Amino acid sequence: DAKTTQPPSMDCAEGRAANLPCNHSTISGNEYVYWYRQIHSQGPQYIIHGLKNNETNEMASLIITEDRKSSTLILPHATLRDTAVYYCIVSPGHTNDYKLSFGAGTTVTVRA
Amino acid sequence: NAGVTQTPKFQVLKTGQSMTLQCAQDMNHNSMYWYRQDPGMGLRLIYYSASEGTTDKGEVPNGYNVSRLNKREFSLRLESAAPSQTSVYFCASSASRVGANVLTFGAGSRLTVL
């Protein structure tokens, strides 16, 4: 699996957009970008995933650069409940590979 | 729906004791996983089961055994617990469709080995 690099921590203000970067410069053509988050010792929660195109759902938006070497997760209006560790993961999206490898992630603190 | 249910939520063992962590999912998922998370670290994959009847080692399988009892249940056994196995254990499941291997996690089982 391709490795990812994320900043260890970041702060953002409540109500503002939070932009979380992820570098995955060795990503291969069949690998998807996944984002999960983990709120204080709970089980990780799926947020969003994408292959090439930008994606949006009710939780967040995912922007993937054209060369696919980096991506940004956007939380449009951060709330205190978005304080969590955010994990960026790349993994093949085919049925022969079932494993997701979690790194250290980015600890996001949303401040009032 | 309950999703992924893990039992027990908390357990304290003495070195050398054995125990089994239970995991069940009600989403008809094909694949199931066991991860461990040590303080301040990310999750590491212990074992996974791509489908009923198959199991494979992950990154840190030593000291553990697993059983995929049926499609719903995937158990993790510590035969002789060691203090290094003190951790939070997470079970997860996924439908494993092409292009969308989205995992659903349980709430975790906190294990302390003295």
Task: Please count the other Cβ atoms lying within 10 Å of the Cβ belonging to residue B68.
Answer: 20
How many CA within 13 A on the CB side of residue B111? Answer: 32
Report the distance separating Cα A20 and Cα A108, nearest Å.
9
- Which stretches of chain A drop beneath a pLDDT of 50? none
pLDDT at residue B3, as a whole number = 94
Tell whether A94 is within 8 A of chain B (Cβ).
Answer: yes
What is the amino acid identity at position B6? Q
Report the distance separating Cα B24 and Cα B38, nearest Å.
23
Could you tell me how many CB contacts below 8 A there are between chain A and chain B? 65
Residue with tokens 């054995």: B18
Reading the block at residue B44, the tokens are 């590491």
Kindly report, residue by residue over A7-30, the tens digit of the pLDDT: 999 999 999 999 999 999 999 888
What is the residue-averaged pLDDT of chain A? 91
Decide if B103 and A44 are in contact by the 8 Å CB cutoff.
yes
Tell whether A9 is within 8 A of chain B (Cβ).
Answer: no
Closest to B92 (Cα-Cα) out of B81, B103, B108, B80: B103
Report the distance separating Cα B113 and Cα B21, nearest Å.
14
Tell whether A87 is within 8 A of chain B (Cβ).
Answer: yes
Kindly report, residue by residue over B50-89, the tens digit of the pLDDT: 888 899 999 899 999 999 989 999 999 999 999 999 999 9
CA distances from B64 to A51, A81, B45, B56, B79 (A): 34, 35, 12, 12, 7
The mean per-residue pLDDT over the stretch B20-25 comes to 98
Decide if B101 and A51 are in contact by the 8 Å CB cutoff.
no
**Percent of the residues in chain B that have a pLDDT greater than 90, as a whole number:** 76
Q: Comparing B95 with A37, which gets the higher pLDDT?
A: A37
Report the distance separating Cα B79 and Cα A101, nearest Å.
25
pLDDT at residue A34, as a whole number = 93
What is the amino acid identity at position B81? A
pLDDT at residue A67, as a whole number = 94
